[in-house]
Structure 1
Amino acid sequence: MPPSPKWVELAERIRRQIESGELSPGDKLPSTSQLCDIYGVSSIVVRNAMLTLKAEGLVVGVPGVGVYVAEK
């Protein structure tokens, strides 16, 4: 089986942090550039991971402010 795309792996990593309680509702996620540095990925990878998590209702984006863990 081929490896998962990097954005799928990043989305899964953040999803696990939310589900485990490491990231709580209302917590602000690091910026795109910070996530790129932390995980060694491109901004496209971060963008696709965030789009996936937003579609799942796990995070919400506030334009010009940041991305936050959604309230349950």
Structure 2
Amino acid sequence: MPAKPKWERLADHLRTQIESGELPPGAKLPSTAELCTEHKVSAITVRQAIFKLRTEGLIEGVQGVGVFVVDE
């Protein structure tokens, strides 16, 4: 079985943090630059992971402010 792409591994990591409550509802996710540095990935990889979580309804972006965990 091939290894998961980096964006998918990052999405899994963030999803786990959301589901465990480490990133609670209303919490702001780290910036793209912070995620790039922390996970040693490119900005494109971070954007793909964020897009995946957004399509799952776990997070939402606020233009010019940041990306937040959805408050159920």
Bin for the TM-score computed over the shorter chain: over 0.9
**Aligned residue in 1 for 2:38:** 38
Runs of at least 5 residues in structure 1 that lack an aligned partner in the other structure: none
Q: Kindly state the Cα deviation for residue 31 of structure 1 after the two structures are TM-superposed.
A: 0.4
Q: Kindly state the Cα deviation for residue 19 of structure 1 after the two structures are TM-superposed.
A: 0.4
User: How many residue pairs are counted as aligned between the two chains?
Assistant: 72
Once the two structures are superposed, residues 23-43 of structure 1 have per-residue CA deviations (whole angstroms, 9 ceiling, x without a partner) of 100000010001000100000
Q: Kindly state the Cα deviation for residue 51 of structure 1 after the two structures are TM-superposed.
A: 0.3
Alpha-carbon distance in 1 for matches of 2:71, 2:52: 17
Stretches of 4+ moved more than 3 A in 1? none
Tell me the TM-score normalized by structure 2.
0.98
Tell me the TM-score normalized by structure 1.
0.98
